Amino acid sequence: MKAFSLDEDQIARVVGAAAADELSRRFNRHADFLTIASWTQNTPLGRGGLALDEAEKDACARRAATFFGLKADYLSARPAEKIADWAHELAAALRARLDAFSFKPAARGDGDVAFTHRADAIYQDAAAAANVLAGRRRLLSFVAPHSLLGFELSVLTPNLLGVEAVDARGMTPDELSKNLLFGDVLVATPTLWRYMMQEELQAPDNSLAVSFGEPMTPELAVEMRKSGFGVLREMYGSTETGLIAWRDNPGEAFILFDHWRRDGDDLIRLCPDGEARHVDAMDLLAWSGERSFTLSGRRDGAVQIGAVNVFPDAVAETLRAHPHILDCRIVVGRRSDGAARLIANIVLSEKTPPNERTARDIDVWCRVNLRQQERPQIYNFEIETGA
């Protein structure tokens, strides 16, 4: 089935994005957004490219293989100098067999946990997304393709629709404004949409905006419509569950895709092989009918910042390891545009002054020990005065 086949360029984009994520998780190596977007088939794995040492190269090779349901050591014995070499080997393997995909959730607390899904279930999700995005001329994606929803929406869905897929991650908002055409669909997370709205992205008539990964706020939706996007689609799902539902406006209820059913407070997935599988949603669902619901907060206490699940208690525990911090409590605030942000309420040691220098010192420490989305944006200081 050609619609479900992956070419080497698509595989290479996934490999590059997955490698960036693996380097961040395992080796605390962080590349900027535009650098990662520039990694193509021709990018070297060593000097002048990803600059991988042997340990990093092995970790990235294992991540690439397991993403496509292969044994972790599948690429280990195969010589490779460029991303294209891995993509070529993977493409050959996938032509013979592709029956699973494996995705890691975007949360530091999950360590090396990955969730494996049957390939037919991932294709089922992509087909559902294609049904609500039909009639578009091109699909442009501003998201990395290694996450479950990123892969389904930016790679598989345009394949199913038979439309051109454009990797827009390397474009500036000004370049996007010039490249968007009548009838296009652009995929991004709300954090990226806020950035594009701040940079005054303009869209032509009949453009469709797709978001996922964190809640869409009414304020952001208004700005997106003002910029020219006549239609919005917000997708709901997770790495653990797959794609579940969609809606047009933040104030509306989500609507289940056809392969989902309500099961009391939870869900039943109707799998392609005929199995009806019970699934625990990652959020508390407030049902307004048999096929519609709104979200009532995460079950696990996570908050979504920049499409990444962040655990405030875990962030506070990490901050308590700083030599000048006796105690810390993390709360979630909202910026004027509705975006979530972390606020750190910190009790400093008795001899540590609550000044700008202390704040800078803690911020530098956070950049080493926390991922970007986990870093507090506001520090409130108290001083421990002793007994």
What pLDDT shows up at residue 310?
81
Report which secondary-structure segment, H or E, holds 11.
helix 8-27
What gap in Å lies between CA 345 and CA 354, rounded to an integer?
12
- pLDDT-above-90 percentage for the chain: 68
Give the confidence band of 3 by pLDDT, cuts at 50, 70, 90: low
> Does 201 score more than 90 pLDDT?
yes
Superfamily for domain range 311-383: ANL, C-terminal domain (3.30.300.30)
pTM above 0.85, yes or no: no
What b/e readout covers 357-376, taking b as 16+ CB neighbours within 10 angstroms? ebbeebeebbeebbbebbbb
Beta partners for residue 211, in sequence order: 188, 234
* Chain-centre distance for alpha carbon 213: 6
What gap in Å lies between CA 358 and CA 285, rounded to an integer?
42
Class level of CATH domain 1-97: mainly alpha
Q: In this predicted model, what pLDDT tens digit does every residue of 246-276 receive, in sequence order?
A: 999 998 999 999 999 999 888 999 999 999 9
Q: Which of 334, 26, 380, 8 is nearest to 194 (CA)?
A: 334
* Chain-centre distance for alpha carbon 320: 28
What pLDDT shows up at residue 96?
92
Q: Where in the chain is the domain with CATH 1.10.1200?
A: 1-97
Mean pLDDT in residue range 60-69 = 97
- pLDDT-above-70 percentage for the chain: 94
CB of 197 within 8 A of CB of 220?
Answer: yes
CB of 376 within 8 A of CB of 344?
Answer: yes
In the CATH hierarchy, which fold is given to the domain comprising 99-300? Rossmann fold (3.40.50)
Mean pLDDT in residue range 324-346 = 84
Q: What is the DSSP letter of 290?
A: S
Give the confidence band of 387 by pLDDT, cuts at 50, 70, 90: very low
Give the confidence band of 152 by pLDDT, cuts at 50, 70, 90: very high
Q: Where in the chain is the domain with CATH 3.40.50.12780?
A: 99-300
Q: Where in the chain is the domain with CATH 3.30.300.30?
A: 311-383
What pLDDT shows up at residue 338?
67
